[in-house]
Structure 1
Amino acid sequence: MRPRFASFSNSGRQGYGLIREDGVVDLSVRFRPRFSTLREVIAAGALDMLAEKGQSAPVDYPLAAVTLDIPIPSPEKIICVGVNFPDRNEEYKDGQTAPSNPSLFIRFPRSFTGHDQPLIRPPESPQLDYEGEIVIVIGKEGRRIPESDALSHIAALSLCNEGTLRDWVRHAKFNVTQGKNFDASGSIGPWIVPYTDESQLADIKLETRVNGEVRQGDRTSRMIFSFRKIINYVSTFTTLVPGDVIVCGTPTGAGARFDPPIWLKPGDIVEVEADGIGLLRNTIADERI
């Protein structure tokens, strides 16, 4: 099993550590102030070193004693890719072939919560929807990164439920920002898994389930834009830095595509699972106002 690193909270204190079968090794108490968060660990290229230290250290907490937060607590950028699977492109029924460049939008860290935490349905809309996706975390700074070198800039992988308020993505003519950024409407986690080589990314099975029913399923080998292309394209206009998060697109099968649409409601359980990464699970709750 590949090492798994998580950011967590325990009794009001935030930390980061190695997730093992027997519990959580708190690496933050061992490596602060050298590394304040996993973002600094990634920037230093120290995931392998911390994995080695963590494997031989005693466990500090059982997993049930911590709350898992989004793995990178304050990324400089969270960039999301839209329409990145063939069937997803066909959902639009606009007669257009696959686009020549990725559709991109930005999300704020506050719009995400962690594993086993509720996604929040706001009072402004009942149309909360799910989107299971693979996440790549950047480990090395770069601008105008060639595709041939792109994968060397990945530090780790994670999962995302890129929760969306569907009517709010159509409030304006040219963007989807509003419907993608309600507080705690999506999730990232449960942890990050260090990237090792291209085979790890080549054909990941990605699946989303709602209350145990499979709603989305596809493989990364079918993505319209490869991980290499995404990194190359994004780095053309912005410098990618360690800790940046790129959410790489969802398969067909979101609730909006049912007739009638099936929106998430309190009590639902959504699971996003991918080979070699793990399982991200969230419930749904109404916002308390």
Structure 2
Amino acid sequence: MTTHSRLATVTAASATRYGLVLDNGFVDLSARHGSVWPTLRAAIEAGALQTLSEKGAALAPDYSLDEITYEIPVPNAEKIICVGVNYPDRNEEYKDGQAAPPNPSLFPRFARSFVGHGVALNRPPESAQLDYEGEIVLVVGKGGRRIPEAQALDHIAALTLCNEGTIRDWVRHAKFNVTQGKNFDGTGSIGPWLVPYVNEAQIADIGFETRVNGEVRQSDRTSRMIFPFRKLIAYISTFTTLVPGDVLITGTPTGAGARFDPPIWLQPGDVVDVEAEGVGTLRNTVADEALK
């Protein structure tokens, strides 16, 4: 297995499936191993991502890439926890004269607030202030409570990417919480796939960027995080038990649309790319939400 094995959850032939994404198609591993591991989350819990990658690499694709629609990689995660203000320049954007806080700011998101790679992000009718936030994502492999920093990376199963789309005016609807503006249906994305975690060198200094219509808006490296991956896992597991398949969205750099003067909100037809070294590119267009 290489660090670039790509395991995805997709819809193909009107069914949800998981498998290996190759350059020339999709290998349906759920058709072969679904009785043992019904979902990618089940495979994560069993520590089977490497086994699946190796089995899939020897097979011919079952579907061409244009026959699949990407879903978020772990569609049934128990928890999706997001980190705010985790890069130095992002902290300075607040212009409040305060140094970086001693502990990370956290908030939850619901799976329904995300779509997969290649699916349009929703701009809801309640607000035109749809913004982008490119982020690196950790997926928990081994659960635990009060995990020491020294052992924290042993609890990672895989990496993926997130556009943590945000409705900016709705994060200020109340005195102290951002949950509303972070959870409009289909405003963010996760994907395209899971890249199995191998070792610390793989994540220590990932360069990543966010582009809107080809223009670079965000660019940074994980080596500059205020709260490194070890700290995040240790801190979050202090108050909640992490379980296999939990999704930790680790913070966005400076450069979101809200920080321009005037702000630059996402518009229908825009294309947003979040690209990271060793992980891939998460791409989504933007569309007005289809009201039911």
TM range (shorter): over 0.9
Counterpart in the other structure of 2:47? 45
Shift of 1:189: 0.1
Cα deviation 1:97-131 (Å, max 9, x = unaligned):
01100000000000000001000000000000000
> Partners of 1:50 and 1:136 in 2: how far apart?
19
Determine helix, strand or coil for the equivalent of 1:207.
strand
> Partners of 2:35 and 2:123 in 1: how far apart?
37
- Name the amino acid aligned to 1:260: P
Counterpart in the other structure of 1:207? 209
The counterpart of 1:278, out of the listed 272, 277, 280, is 280
Counterpart in the other structure of 2:38? 36
Quick check: 1:268 aligned with 2:267?
Answer: no
Counterpart in the other structure of 2:257? 255
> Partners of 1:232 and 1:17 in 2: how far apart?
31
Cα deviation 1:155-177 (Å, max 9, x = unaligned):
00000000000000000001000
Q: Please identify runs of 4+ aligned residues in structure 1 that moved more than 3 A.
A: none
State the aligned residue count.
289
Quick check: 1:169 aligned with 2:171?
Answer: yes
Counterpart in the other structure of 1:69? 71
Counterpart in the other structure of 2:241? 239
> Partners of 1:32 and 1:90 in 2: how far apart?
48
Q: What value does the CA root-mean-square deviation take over the aligned residues? A: 0.6
Counterpart in the other structure of 1:133? 135
Counterpart in the other structure of 2:192? 190
- Name the amino acid aligned to 1:136: L
> Partners of 2:253 and 2:208 in 1: how far apart?
8
Quick check: 1:90 aligned with 2:95?
Answer: no
> Partners of 2:246 and 2:253 in 1: how far apart?
23
Structure 2, gaps ≥5 residues long = none
Shift of 1:52: 1.2
Cα deviation 1:128-158 (Å, max 9, x = unaligned):
0000000000000110000000000000000
- Name the amino acid aligned to 1:219: R
Counterpart in the other structure of 1:154? 156
Counterpart in the other structure of 2:123? 121
Cα deviation 1:13-66 (Å, max 9, x = unaligned):
000000112211000000112111100000000011111110112210111110
> Partners of 1:162 and 1:21 in 2: how far apart?
27
Shift of 1:214: 0.2
Counterpart in the other structure of 2:146? 144
> Partners of 2:198 and 2:12 in 1: how far apart?
30
1:97-108 to structure 2, matched below 5 A, reads: 97-108=99-110
TM-score of the superposed pair, with normalisation by structure 1? 0.99
Determine helix, strand or coil for the equivalent of 2:151.
helix
- Name the amino acid aligned to 1:130: Y
Shift of 1:11: 2.8
**Percent of residue pairs identical:** 69
Once the two structures are overlaid, the 10-residue window that deviates more, 9-18 or 128-137, is: 9-18
- Name the amino acid aligned to 1:244: D
TM-score of the superposed pair, with normalisation by structure 2? 0.98
